[in-house]
Each structure stands twice: as C-alpha cells, then as structure tokens.
Structure 1
C-alpha cells in the first residue's frame, strides 16, 4: 500500500496483495475487473513495490492510450518519486517530419534512416550534456521539451529509457520487430509486463503477423516500376504484371483461398527477387527525400507481402486468402496466436493481463498461451437496484440479411426503446446490419425528438472525437440523443459514458463475425487444435460475446450509474451466450416478446 495514492475501495487491497504474491512466486497474473474499479493505479502500485531495480513495461492497444498510466504515476508521486514516461514512435515524435509535413509511419521511418546524420535535431541531441527530469512525463511533454531546446524527441526518449521505472507504449513494441528499439536499452527479463485491455491481444497479434496486398497497391507498384526502372533492367515488371493478372483471375465472386505455389509459378516470383525489390525501393525512397516528398513505396508493400508469404509457406495455421469485399486483395493470414504469444510472455519476469472483459479466463489463457498464472475476478461495481435487462424474443440477426418481416420487428423494438428518456445507444451486430436498419432508426429517432449520431467505417479520428463530445454533452444542454454504432467499433469499446451521458443500451443482434471464408478457416483451425466444440467456442462464440460485453459496459462506470439494457436477439437466451455476459447484465432480467414491449421502461 506504500505507493497507492487513494483511500482503498472494496477489493483493491485484495487485488494488490494477490498481484504482489504472484510476482514474488514468478507467476503471471490475470485480472478481470470492471471499468471504474481502478485497475491502473492498483496494478501500478502493486508492481512498484516489487521492482528491485527492474522496470514496468505497460503495453496498451493504441498510442493514444499510453498516457493513462503516466497520469496515474503523477498522482502516485505525491507519495514517492518514480520516473516514467509514455513512449511514442517516430511518426509522432519526429520534428523534421512535422516540418516537411510527412505523417505516415513508412515515410517518417525512411526519412529518419536517410537523413538522420544531417538532421539538425539529431545532431543537437548528440551535443546534449544534460536533460532535466522533473517527474513523470507524457509524450507531449517530452515533445514540447525537446522542441524548446531543438533536439530530437524520439531519440531523447531512447536516452530516457534507462532512467525510467515505468515505460508505457503500444502493443507493437512487444509483439513486432519494433521491439528491438526498446530491448537493447531495457532488460525484459528483469521487467514486469502489463498488458492493458488484454482481451484485444490475440487479434492484434494476428494482424501484426499477417500481411495483405490490394489490387490498387499492385497497380501502383507497376507504375512505380515503370517510372524508376523504365527499361525493366531488374526484370520485375513482367512478374508484377503476372501477379496482378493472377489476382484478377482468382479474386472474383465470393471470398476464398488461393494456392501460393500456383501464384509463384504463374508469376515466376521467388526469394531471389526480394533483393531486386529492395534495390529499387531504396532508389524510390532516396528520390522522394531529395524532392522533399514523403518517402513511401508501393513496391515495398509488394516486397513485404512476398516476404511474409514465402516465410510462412507450408506452415500449419497460416491461410492464403483472397477477398473481393472492398476491392480484390490477397492476404497471408497467420492464426498461430498461442504459439507466437507464449514465447513473448517468457521473455518477462512476470506478465499482468488485465481487462474488464477477460472472463472466461480459462478461454483467454488457452488462446494467448498464458501458463503458470494466478487469477482474480472482481465483481461489477454497479448497483443491482439501478440496472435492469430485457431480452427480446422473436427477433434475431441470424442469417445473411434481415428479411422484411424481421426488419419490421426490429424497427418496432427500436421504437419502444426510444421512448426511454435520456441519451441512448444502439450497438449493432455489424456494419452490415447497421446499414440495413439505420435509415429506419434515424426516422424513428427524429420522431422521438432525439438527435442522431452514427459511426462510419471510414470516419476520421477527429470526426469521431467531435461526435463523441457532442453526444456526451447533450444532457447538460437539456437535450437527448441516440448513438448508433457497431459492437466492436470505437464507440462500443473505447468510450466512457458516466452518469446521464448514457441511460440505455440496445444490442441489435449478437456481434458474431460474418461466416466468410476467413472466419470458417479460423474456426476449422481452432477445431483442429482444441476439438470441435471448444474450438468453435474459443474462435467464434467468446469473441462475439466479449464485443457485446464491452458495448454493454459503456453505461456502467460507477456505483451510482443507472442503465437499461435491451438485448434484441433471442439467441441471448442460449445458456452459453448468456453466461458470457457481464454480471450486472445478468442480475435483473426479464424476457419479453417483441410484440409486448412496453412503450417506456423508464
């Protein structure tokens, strides 16, 4: 308790003690605790007392979340002096790139590689004798301090790694080759790793180990080759054209799988071509930098795809897929999460996994390869008297699309739901389902006097922030709104709506992954590993109900919050599905036919 800066609430002392005991035994620890419990200060305080010269590496899903543990450390530092900072990549920290208006990861990385020795900020940093540390720093504070003395913020961070007891960074630095930047400064074997929002880690690992290439990127790579090797001296153009023709030939109709050997034989592409790609890509990058342009290359995208495709050839658990959903594309998809992640965890002294939707922990540990662990599940902080749930019979999003009759039923359910006073949210099973119902929902919301806000697949971060800000502010203006978004989207997982900001949530369907070729291939792979029933449960059922649980958790952030939950899909009555929902959703449940819903549950 020496580092904990608050008056402990229920279960917090118990969790801190359990974590300390686990890491003293050299065990990992899985913590399921609701949002609002105080997971960050509890875990941080417990680990600070056990450092013994080591470090805490705090891994989060996105760079935007790296500041949270550092802000907590600033509060903790009122009791003890500990230095930590949020680490961000070159894309966020390069002053030269900002000056040249270069913003992509690829562009900034290549700019740094090609211009580092002549960069004034890097050269100034090499002359820096001393940097004043006045306490924990979020990345923007490091950026501002570096800019004020005209030194490179990114490499200033590298210098600070050795001084820090807490380093907050994105998953990428733990799961991808980017980690070398940290590893050569920090001993992972002496460090604790905290995986925040750990329910995301398996999907992130799959995405990082997989690679795709679109028809548009391939066509642009051909144009790049024509420009930088007009005589085709490297002999890549014919092979790129053959690859484009192969993609056009196979990526038609519905999504499916392709044969890697067939692609290689029809294009004559092989390992010997990779050196040629890199030779030409370096010419492209150098030319762009000389012209003050962003050093990006579509030829590099093709090379990266081929590297991954060739490296993983013949491996069990790797699928070669084509997609036609947005545009033709090829993908090498690596599903071997357990074998990959289990080797990562062994690099650390102990790993703490925490999330508000980590349950069922046995399922989580199976999928991500966690062995030798202790666990603890903290009950919801919600007040049972302030929450209620209705499961609606007679409606379901099962199937490829909603029938006219089912659409009519859903709109009748939505009409009843909209009679609830205050801000409401409808989280749909998918963007596809959302597209089928949204026009009718918007019309009903207008009739109910609620302003509508909806999440779009291609929405920018700035636009999402504006929508969120406006929606949350409505109750303070005496107005009401309806938020429409897919479960699993940015509003259903990344946003908090305390108090009057959200009074009711409707789940329109269960957010199962659509049964595409990709989904079926994954289910089949898991069934081979875990058996038919458990494989389907781990790969298909648990992820869907985790998405639903994340969405439902948006409205309950404290003991005082009130919320009504409308589960608009009769499949929630399935015993397995229902058992995977949060405890506060299962406390006070009524089952009502869609025809019999009251006009207001308020």
Structure 2
C-alpha cells in the first residue's frame, strides 16, 4: 500500500533495485537479512516505504545517534504528504535528552534522580489517597503544589502521567486519562524529538514516548535498546512486540559491530568499588535487615556473602591503585593470572565465593531497585555491587572464552589519572544474531559497507547468511575528483623519509591552496596531525584561509564547527582532524561547508599486544586473509571512507577527494584498493603531488567555466572552440603515451587522466576568474 508513494518523483534505476530488494526480503520473512551498501544520495531512508508495504507487523529502526531520528521522521512526513496512508511513528530517546528536570540532578545521573523522584511520587500519591475519601487519585483534578527546583519531593511530570487507585488496602497505578489523550493527539501528526516536550502538556515526555511506542507502526530506538545484554531480553516484552512480526532496519550498520562489542563489555572503576561498599554498609544497617524476610539458612548465606565481599572489594581497590601508580597513560593486556592470584588469595573455591557474593548482590538489588526501573532503557544500571559482581563473573568466563579480552586502561583528566579494568567482547556476531535470527526480517543499511562479505562475517559470523546489494554513487561523476597518492605513504618504515614527507606535504598544499573555500585534512592520529601542522598553517596563510584544529575536548567541537562553517562564505577555512575522531564521522558538511577532503594515511589501529590478540582471534576463526581483513584492515578502511565521505553530500555539490596514501591505490604491499567500493575504485586517479595539484587546478577551472556558462554545452563550445579542445586533448594523449613508469597493473588501471590545463588557465583568465592556481581560485 505504501508503494504508491515512492519517495521521489523520479526514481533512479538503482533506487528501484534497492526498494524491490527490501520489499522481497521483508515480504518473505523467515529471518531473512539484506545488507545494502548505498552511498550518500541513494535515498536509503526510503527503504521504510518498501518495508511498510511488505511488513506483517511493527517496524523497528535502530539508529546510532538521536540526529538520525529526524531523517526518518522526514521520510514519514513525505509518506503522509504523498499518500492517504498515515503510519504512526514513535521513538525511544534517552532520559538525559528529554527529561524536563535533567538540569536539577547534581551529584547523580538523570536515571538515578528519576528513579528516586518516581518512588517519592508514588509515596506522594499514596499519602493523598490515604488522606482523602476517594479510592482514586487523579492528579489533573488536584492542585499540585509548586516546589523549588533541585529540592523536589516528587516529580510533577511523572505525577501527571499516572492515576493512583486503592484495592484491598494497596495502592496501584495506571496511565492517566490525560496521558492517553496526549498519545491520541500525537497520532494525528509527526512530531520530532525537539517538539515532543511542547506536545506533552506537562506530562513526562519519556512516559508519553514509551506509551506511544507500544501501539505505533514504526519505533525508532538506539542500538542499545536492542543489542545491550541488559535490555535485549526485555525490550520486546516491554513494548508488547511479537518478535516474529517485527521487521528491523539498522541504519549506519557499519557501526553496529563496534557498538555491540562496546555494549557487551564490562568495566570496573574505583568509584564503582566505593559505591558498592556503601551499598553493603546500607544493607547491613537496621533498615535493610528489618525489610528483609529470610530463613536461618538464608541469613547464613548472607553473612558469608558479606564476609567474601569485605575481602574482595579492598583487594580490588588496591589492585587498581597499584596499576595507576605503575602504568603510564594508555591501555595494556591484563595479566589475568596475577589478578586472580592476588584477588582470591586464601579463597579455595572461586565459584562458591562468587555465588555467596551473588546472593548478597541480589538482595541489595531487591531492596534498592524499584519494579519500574526496567523502563530505564539507557544510562546507569544500579546497584554498583551487582556491576562489580558481573565484572568478576566475566573475568572468570574469559578464562575459557577467547572472544573476551581483559585489559587495563589508564587515562588522564587534567592533572589527575584514572584507571579502569575492562573485559571486552571482541566478537559481536552472537549478540547480533540473537536479534536478527528471531525477527521477521532485517535490513542493514550503510553508505560505507564495503566489502559487504567482510561485514557479513564480522556482524553475522557466517558466509551466505545475508543477501547483499551494492549500489553506485548516484551523483554526477563530473562533480567530483578522486585522487590517490602514487608514492606517499604513512607506513612506519617510510614515515620519516624526507622524500616521502615532502610528497605528503605537497599533496596537502595542493588541496589547501588549489581548492577554493573550506577543506579538511584528516590524519591517522593526533601526533601525525601535529607533525604536519606547520605545513597546513603556512598553506592556509598563503591563500588567506583560517586553520581550525580538532580540539581534544568534545565540548569545544560545536563552537569550532560554527566557526568553520561560517568561513565557507568568506575566504575559506582549513579543518584538521583525526580519522575516526569527533570531526570525521557523523557530521553533515553540506553546501559551502566543505569543498575538499584529504585522508592522510591508512588509519590502522596501533599494532600493540591488544590488537595482536584481536588479530589472533579472527585469524583462528576465519583464516589469515579473512581474519586480518576483519580484525585489522576493515576498521581502517571504514575510518578512511567515513572521513572522505564528509564532502559531496548532495547532487549539486562539487568536491575534491584525496587519499594521501599509496595503499588506497594498490592491492599489493599492504594495499586495500580491492576492498574499496566499486565506484571509488573506478574513479581513483593515481598521482604524485605535482600531478595532483595540476589535476585539481584543471578541475577547479572546469567547474568555474561551468558556473559561468551555466553548464550549457553549446555555450561552452562558443567560449572555447571545439578544435582547440580536440587539439589540447591530442597533445595530452601524446604526452601520456610517452610517459614511462613502474606502476603495477592496478596503478595502470587508475592512471591519471589529463586535460588541457594550459587552455583552461587561459580560458579562466579570459572569463575574469583569475589563474586557477592562484590564491583567488
């Protein structure tokens, strides 16, 4: 029914292919999976239309960031405007983003503060019922007292979301009539997260959001809602979804594996130990003992559990402190034997000790956690004693599970250093498959999903598990110039070679000096960015551009981006950052925001003991070639493609994309050309720094000519006679035929295409545009 709207009036053929493939997989069901590699501009979000037409039940869209929610809301708005169908769309957003009282929680998280106020609110309602004659308390019929912010005894927003009623002397709660009315109102329009607060009429937005999600056609939620081990088992029950009728769309799916790995990892900090000790003390107090009903045998278990905990927590603190004192900033593999010998010294049976520990942790949770806390789908999970136990359990599991990696991390915050222990899950496939193998169908979408076969192994752990579709770049080829360094590289053995450094510097200068407007240069690391800072600064000054350097603090990013975006219309700026960093992914540089990007180096992870262990795991699982690709090469390719993808975000935009490392252009000697998207491989031109600068100048001059003539071929031929163009081309071909080099077969395939540079320069001058290679170009 939704295919009568297909999202744009003139669908391109490859978009038809994508929508047909989505429709087929979703309509067949049977836990089918479709992986789609579709560059920017292919209309990936329009897949929601085909899924709506074929899906037997609810559609769940999993996104990495809240900003992606707006993209799908825009798509639903198009459906509403183009057809008579009105699919209802809801979303789940973390409380820290939509809680009206978020700014009032000082020393606690919004989740802990919310939990506290919710319990106090329930007590407030109970007292109201006890004082009155009515068996039902409706907050909307009552005069709710105003309280001073930060010193509240109840939450007025949560209060308005519930009605209290008494049965047989016990107080129960249900959704308020006003809350139900608000949800009905939301069904009549599409409301973005930014407008949700104003639509809630003083009722808790999170309560409204969760209530609406149960009955909507589409629910957008964060990855963690589905793939976190703490929520994975309850999300379908909580939202009353039949998993066999759920169709899952995963956006930006190239991020899914790493995100799931992070969600399924545990850590331990000194603060967690402090909080855990506080919880044990509270548990031993009079109030805790008075509220706990237990037999004599249970009391004996509790006492033994407390004795074990009193031994382990101080030892954990001492171990962390010793690592903090001895270890520099960074991360290292943990000596698991040393850790276990120190922690469990004098304890004969570790499993028995952890069982006693568990008995106390469960009792503490029963005392401290409200029943409704399962609705906290993001944020802190309390209590800390349980988290310490889960960490210790995972440490023991890692003794036999080679997919779990144990390490120590020391970080610096100002003049202070912090330490934490981690147990990381390095293989996300099993946790992803727990969802994908139990829903109707899964559609995985990404603009940087190449090679699909490698991502299939990484995310799904099985060859042939998914159907795969790779689409070409839909934007006009003439609007982009893709270059790759013929000589330059950041490989360790060549990194300090003077000729190599000069080649890298030359490529950087060409991008900054020859591309008008804003450009960005992304490096493999902060030290490398600092090594070429002077090059970037001198070239920026030469052409009157301002240098903007990626800050270490995320808090400074918005201000820096505001400055950089403003420079696009007044002389231009040069942004330097790090691949995989705060500026190279997830930011949309549209319009004049970015005209050229250089990716300097292949951004491989540090080849340390931690990375070697990950490489060893995947090599053992998939063999050396596939294993190393997944463990080591694939993340680097993705970081590079993500950084490069910041330029040319719309069909009308033009830009230069430079891979400043020869490994992007070759398949041998550590090259990765064969793993790049097909359209990138086809368009890459191998150049040295001088050739790259010339080609950029030629392309810029051509674009300037197009701007002058309005892209009219007839007018173009009037400005420059066809015979002159032909002669320039013939001359260039003659020059090319005489060139000699030692390029490999892949290099020859990507040999630079040369145009009439001299003629274009003369043309630019005749049009009053100046020398394309000059400061004003």
1:570 pairs with one of 650, 654, 662: 662
Aligned residue for 1:533?
625
Distance 1:260 1:417, change over 3 A: same
Distance 1:63 1:559, change over 3 A: closer
Question: Is 1:475 aligned with 2:601?
Answer: no
Deviations, residues 438-487 of structure 1 (Å, cap 9, x unaligned)? 35533442343211223234312xx32333333223233x3201111211
Aligned residues: 587
In structure 2, list runs of 5 or more residues that go unmatched.
Answer: 124-154, 164-175, 286-302, 345-349, 371-379, 413-417, 701-777
TM-superposed deviation, 1:328: 3.9
Aligned residue for 1:9?
11
1:73 pairs with one of 76, 83, 104: 76
CA distance in 1, matches of 2:433, 2:23: 22
CA contact (8 A) 1:382 1:584 kept: no
Distance 1:29 1:312, change over 3 A: same
Question: Is 1:241 aligned with 2:332?
Answer: no
Aligned residue for 2:496?
403
Give the SS at the match of 1:490. coil
CA contact (8 A) 1:512 1:540 kept: yes
TM-superposed deviation, 1:162: 2.7
CA distance in 2, matches of 1:194, 1:102: 37
CA distance in 2, matches of 1:35, 1:590: 21
Give the SS at the match of 2:532. helix
Aligned residue for 2:558?
465
Aligned residue for 1:520?
612
Question: Is 1:107 aligned with 2:112?
Answer: yes
Indicate the larger mover: 549-558 or 433-442: 433-442
Indicate the larger mover: 581-590 or 58-67: 581-590
> How does the TM-score come out when normalised to structure 1?
0.87
2:259 pairs with one of 181, 204, 209: 204
Aligned residue for 1:346?
437
CA distance in 2, matches of 1:431, 1:352: 36
CA root-mean-square deviation: 3.4
Q: Which structure has the larger Rg?
A: 2
Give the SS at the match of 2:216. coil
Aligned residue for 2:454?
363
Give the SS at the match of 2:583. helix
CA distance in 2, matches of 1:304, 1:482: 47
TM-superposed deviation, 1:354: 0.6
Question: Is 1:140 aligned with 2:194?
Answer: yes
Aligned residue for 1:178?
231
Aligned residue for 2:395?
309
CA distance in 1, matches of 2:616, 2:117: 43
TM-superposed deviation, 1:192: 0.5
1:501 pairs with one of 570, 575, 593: 593
TM-superposed deviation, 1:510: 0.8
Aligned residue for 1:291?
none
CA distance in 1, matches of 2:551, 2:307: 43
Deviations, residues 163-203 of structure 1 (Å, cap 9, x unaligned)? 20011111001101234245332222211000000011100
Aligned residue for 1:252?
327
TM-superposed deviation, 1:320: 1.3
Deviations, residues 94-138 of structure 1 (Å, cap 9, x unaligned)? 345455457736534643664462444333222322322322332
Deviations, residues 201-226 of structure 1 (Å, cap 9, x unaligned)? 10001101112234x54675599689
TM-superposed deviation, 1:501: 2.3
Distance 1:586 1:562, change over 3 A: farther
Aligned residue for 1:430?
525
Deviations, residues 526-551 of structure 1 (Å, cap 9, x unaligned)? 00000011100111112211221122
Give the SS at the match of 2:54. coil
CA distance in 2, matches of 1:347, 1:332: 27
CA contact (8 A) 1:66 1:168 kept: yes
Deviations, residues 494-552 of structure 1 (Å, cap 9, x unaligned)? 12223432211111111111112221111110000000111001111122112211221
Aligned residue for 2:152?
none
Indicate the larger mover: 272-281 or 560-569: 272-281
1:374 pairs with one of 453, 459, 467: 467
1:34 pairs with one of 22, 39, 62: 39
> How does the TM-score come out when normalised to structure 2?
0.69
TM-superposed deviation, 1:309: 2.7
Indicate the larger mover: 428-437 or 15-24: 428-437
Aligned pairs (5 A) from 1:76-87: 76-78=79-81, 79=83, 80-87=85-92
Give the SS at the match of 1:77. helix
